[in-house]
Structure formats: structure tokens, C-alpha cells
Amino acid sequence: MTTDGTMFSFRLYVAGDAQNSSRAIANLTALCRARLAGRHQIEIVDVFGHPERALMDGIVMTPTLMRLEPGPVRRLIGTLNATDDVVAALGIARSEG
């Protein structure tokens, strides 16, 4: 269980302005603003712009969210629209937020 003050670091791979990618960005930022205000950073990588990075991270499906911190790295794919499930998958404690 994470405690207050834990930094969350995310990398979100998106495919240009594809609909599900845009939705994922929106969902993630909304979630972070609501639950992890002030203690998160999000890096958004467009696979079309940086295919070599996608290759390095083994990105097949987009959007893919990588939780880099806290470790271990966890991957989520999809639009991240079911907020409760996303919160559980990312290991954000209910009490936080």
C-alpha cells in the first residue's frame, strides 16, 4: 500500500490523434488530477513520432500506459475509462484522493 507522498511516474504511449488514444490521455489526466494531485508526472509518447522508443518498450497496442514509479513497472492498455479498475490496477490507495 502506498502512503501519502509517493511519487507516481507514468509513460503513456499514444498513436497520433486516434480516438482511443485521446480518450486515454483525457482519462489519465483527469484521474491524476483527482487522486494524485501534485505527486505525479506523465510523459506522453506518440508512437508515430518516436517508433524507436515504442520498440524499446515493446509497445504493440496503443494506448499503453506504463507505471514506472513506484516499481515494478506495470502496463495497462486501453482507454482507461473504468476509473475504479484503473485505480486498483495502478495501486492507488482508496484513501488517497
Give the binding site for other proteins (CB under 8 A): 13, 15-16, 18, 20-21, 23-24, 27, 47-48, 51-52, 54-55, 58-64, 74-82, 85-86, 89
Name the minimum Å distance from CB 91 to other proteins. Answer: 11
CA 74 to chain centre: 9
Nearer to other proteins, 36 or 80 (CB): 80
Please state, in angstroms and rounded to a whole number, the distance separating the CA atoms of residues 24 and 27.
5
Q: What is the DSSP letter of 4?
A: T
Please state, in angstroms and rounded to a whole number, the distance separating the CA atoms of residues 3 and 91.
11
Name the minimum Å distance from CB 28 to other proteins. Answer: 11
